[in-house]
Amino acid sequence: MNNLEIATLGGGCFWCVEAVFQDLKGVEKVVSGYEGGKIKNPTYREICSGMTGHAEVIQVHFDPTIISFDDILRVFFTTHDPTTLNRQGADRGTQYRSVIFYHSENQKTVSEKVIKEFATIWPDPIVTEVSPTSVFYEAEAYHQNYYKNHPNEGYCSVIIAPKVAKVRKLFAEKLR
């Protein structure tokens, strides 16, 4: 489809962020990867060192006539804590930062608007980085569709499943 847009988001472990978007109407594809760092073709092991500057991110390929970028961001801000700098739960380091890599001036404007909207909900200041997109590197194959491929694994059932359940409850009208 030629009318697809891309949203690039980081909110901790990309397995979690990927899983919450996969069942939304209008989302055609979700790809886990790395963005925002200083070396070319980073590996997961290099990212985990925290030395490359990359964030674990996902790219959401979506049809804006079915789901808006605003709604993509509302799901994003509902399913991670945008007030913790370089941390989500037990995951710590710059690779787990809350970040939006915008692909257009409109995405930048919408990101800033939605952050202001959510700033009234969160008790602490939102620290989500809003930066222009750079080079996206697709993560290794074993990271793709991780939750769908391993739903009974401990991390998936304890950490990811509640986030997916929250989306299914709060955004039921947006599900396939």
Cβ–Cβ contacts within 10 Å for residue 167, how many? 20
Does the annotation count 156 as an active-site position?
no
Catalytic residue among 13, 16, 48, 156: 13
Distances 122 to 43, 82, 84, 117, 140 between C-alpha atoms, Å: 34, 9, 11, 10, 34
Residue for token pair 């899983």: 19
Q: What is the DSSP string of 119-133?
A: HTTSSS----EEEE-
Q: Annotated catalytic sites, by residue?
A: 13
